[in-house]
Amino acid sequence: MKRLLLLAAASTIICAAPAAGQSMDHSDMPGMTPPKPTPTPASKPAEDQHAGHAAQPNAKPAAAEPADPHAGHDMSAMPEAGPATPQASGDPGLGGTALPPGNAPAPVPVEANYADSIWGRDAMIGSRAAVMREHGGGTFSQIIFNIAEYQAGKRADGFRWEGEGWFGGDINRLVVKTEGEATFGEGVESAEVQGLYSRAIDPYFNVQVGVRHDFEPGRPATYATVGIEGLAPYWFEVEGALFLSTRGDLLARAEGYYDQRITQRVILQPRVEFNLSAQDVPASRIGAGLVDVELGLRLRYEISREFAPYVGVAYEAKTGRTANFSRVAGEDPTSANFVVGVRFWF
């Protein structure tokens, strides 16, 4: 029994020691004198939320509140301060979302000509022109054949091509186009070359003027050409042109295609082309009105962006008087071909 009483008394002493240590006053220890708070004029001291709490052993003294640098100054006489602008502050990074919210007009953007303050404006004119030429006014080139294919049909097999090359910048370009088709054993049925000046009229369309020369069919013919091509809404590639020959014959052409991506490498390309004539051109076996319609569907696989073999079908139908010219020549005015080819550019 005595042993139990001794153990209980020892436990009571051990548990009471930490509580007593927490309530000790350390203000008499060296270096532990808390700073005296600086009273604020004309302000009521806030009620101490920790009043009556025991002092914590690791508590840090409260830092003194910094004095107001504008204390005693009359701010009512100063003009109203507006939002800072890059021009006023001299800081090029202040602007846009760094400005306070409101309905004020946007600040005028600052030209990035900070080197002028060091080297002078005249010395930097040449450098800025070189930067614009290298990063916005360069010249480029491309050669692309959208169609280069072998055609297998009921009547005879042949081949067809359609491509173009251009050289120039974003606004002005020199463009050369060519297209034609031939039948094995019968020679070239049609072939033409166009030389055009192309100028951008907006980010998506170009106006083109120049000349076209037909080598076949019939006797050679030369045309003045004016047209437009570009990227229509929903990513349709479209092209239209008028052709006026040296003999006064007026022709027109409209075509378009769309690249439908099935995967990142497999693309299905439907294509349509219309040719029209304002009058009969017997030398070229062309009749007035709608000359012919061509429909095509080609499925290609891009081994790389620059090289893509394809397979597909192509259907062509000559109409009206043009169909009559074909029948007189012993030709079928309609044809359907299975095609195998490659689309490439460099």
CATH code for the domain of 250? 2.40.160.40
| Domains of the chain: total | 1
314 with 294: CB under 8 angstroms?
Answer: yes
Tell me phi and psi for residue 190, to 5 degrees: -155, 145
Domain presence at residue 110: no
Scored b (16 or more CB within 10 A) or e, 276-299 reads bbeebbeebbbbeebbbebebebe
**Is the peptide bond preceding residue 92 cis, with omega within 30 degrees of 0?**
no
What is the pLDDT, as a whole number, of residue 81?
45
Whether 24 is in a domain gets the answer: no
Q: Is residue 215 part of a domain?
A: yes
Distance CA 281, CA 219 (A): 11
11 pLDDT tier (thresholds 50, 70, 90): low
Range with the poorest average pLDDT among 14-18, 236-240, 316-320? 14-18
pLDDT per position as a tens digit, 171-222: 999 999 999 999 998 889 899 999 999 999 999 999 999 999 999 877 889 9
Mean pLDDT estimate for the chain? 80
Q: Which residue has the tokens 């569907």?
A: 297
The label of the residue with tokens 């008394």 reads 9
Check residue 71 and report its DSSP letter: T
Domain that includes residue 286, residue range: 140-345
Share of the chain above pLDDT 70, in %: 71
Residue 16: the pLDDT is 47
171 lies in some domain? yes
The reported pLDDT for the residue numbered 139 is: 87
| Band (137; pLDDT cuts 50, 70, 90) | confident
Q: Looking at residue 21, what is its pLDDT? A: 45
pLDDT at 109: 73
- Evaluate whether 287 touches 321 at the Cβ level (below 8 Å): yes
More confident residue, 39 or 281: 281
327 falls within a domain: yes
Percent of the chain exceeding pLDDT 90 equals 53
- Asked if the structure places residue 219 within a domain, the reply is yes
Q: Are 294 and 313 in contact (CB under 8 A)?
A: no
Which positions ≥6 away from 65 have C-beta within 8 Å?
Answer: 38, 40
Least confident of 61-75, 83-97, 131-145, 247-261: 83-97
Q: What is the pLDDT of residue 38?
A: 54
Work out the pLDDT band at 67, boundaries 50, 70, 90: low
